[in-house]
């Protein structure tokens, strides 16, 4: 619900909003670098504020409230455009009858791997998600950004291709998919950064094949 601003302040509000948004982006970028380098649990909100050049050590609290909300904003900054693209592409694949398991996984994997080339925190974002998949403090599945419509739609489509499995095991299998997906991309990035040459197209093909096996595999449940 929007509240009308008094006329005397209307000319100030847009400028204030722009400044606040700029501060939020600075804080998110600082958090991305620190979280990726040292781990989400080992970085304080005061350190993030200092790294973002904020004299007020409570800047993160003012703009985000707590670390969980900061993490959610960080994820949404990167994942929302990807999830929206997934949702659109999923519709095209269904319309064209090309929504096989391999096509769906390829649709999911390739944009994520391309995030490694995003100079605005793309690699850091992927390293952070790899941490959060198995985090006890901030599990990624508990963050609203991980439950965006595009992400839920892709997960649902993938689960329909799952091999023989008891329904109550499906969430565990999908968590296994997330663990393999993000930890593999994080490991690939670290190895390449260390100077080990790994052709990206071969890595992507191998990752897609691995995820097809994780989702589509499994033995027939015993009676």
DSSP element (H, E) containing 187: helix 170-193
pTM assigned to the model: 0.87
- Does 1 reside within a domain? no
Phi and psi, residue 71, nearest 5°: -60, -40
Percent share of the chain, pLDDT over 90: 81
19, 90, 160, 161, 183 from 99: Cα distances, Å: 44, 7, 11, 10, 25
Mean local confidence (pLDDT), 131-153: 94
The answer to whether residues 89 and 199 belong to one domain is yes
User: For position 175, what pLDDT does the model report?
Assistant: 93
State how many domains the chain has. Answer: 2
User: For position 17, what pLDDT does the model report?
Assistant: 64
Q: Is the pLDDT of residue 223 over 70?
A: no
- Does 2 reside within a domain? no
- Does 35 reside within a domain? yes
User: For position 156, what pLDDT does the model report?
Assistant: 92
Per-residue model confidence as pLDDT tens digits over 104-120: 999 999 999 999 999 99
Percent share of the chain, pLDDT over 70: 88
Mean local confidence (pLDDT), 78-107: 94
CATH code: domain of residue 48:
1.10.10
- Does 5 reside within a domain? no
Dihedral sign from CA coordinates of 14, 17, 23, 24 = negative
Are 31 and 70 in contact by the 8 Å Cβ rule? The answer is yes
Q: Give me the domain span that covers residue 37.
A: 14-65
The answer to whether residues 24 and 111 belong to one domain is no
- Does 3 reside within a domain? no
The answer to whether residues 61 and 72 belong to one domain is no
The answer to whether residues 49 and 150 belong to one domain is no
- Does 6 reside within a domain? no
């Amino acid at each position: 619900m929007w509240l009308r601003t008094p006329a005397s302040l209307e000319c100030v509000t847009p400028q204030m909003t722009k400044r606040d948004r700029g501060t939020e982006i600075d804080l998110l970028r600082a958090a991305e670098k620190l979280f990726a380098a040292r781990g989400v649990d080992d970085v304080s909100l005061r350190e993030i504020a200092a790294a973002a050049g904020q004299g007020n050590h409570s800047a993160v609290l003012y703009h985000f409230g707590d670390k969980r909300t900061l993490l959610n904003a960080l994820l949404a900054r990167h994942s929302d455009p990807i999830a929206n693209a997934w949702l659109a592409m999923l519709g095209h694949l269904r319309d064209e009858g090309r929504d096989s398991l391999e096509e769906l996984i390829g649709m999911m994997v390739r944009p994520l791997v391309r995030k490694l080339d995003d100079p605005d925190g793309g690699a850091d974002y992927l390293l952070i998600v790899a941490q959060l998949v198995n985090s006890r403090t901030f599990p990624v599945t508990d963050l609203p950004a991980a439950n965006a419509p595009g992400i839920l739609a892709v997960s649902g489509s993938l689960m329909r291709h799952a091999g023989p499995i008891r329904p109550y095991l499906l969430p565990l299998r999908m968590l296994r998919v997330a663990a393999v997906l993000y930890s593999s991309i994080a490991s690939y990035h670290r190895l390449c950064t260390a100077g080990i040459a790994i052709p990206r197209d071969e890595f992507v093909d191998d990752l897609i094949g691995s995820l097809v096996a994780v989702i589509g595999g499994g033995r027939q449940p015993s009676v």
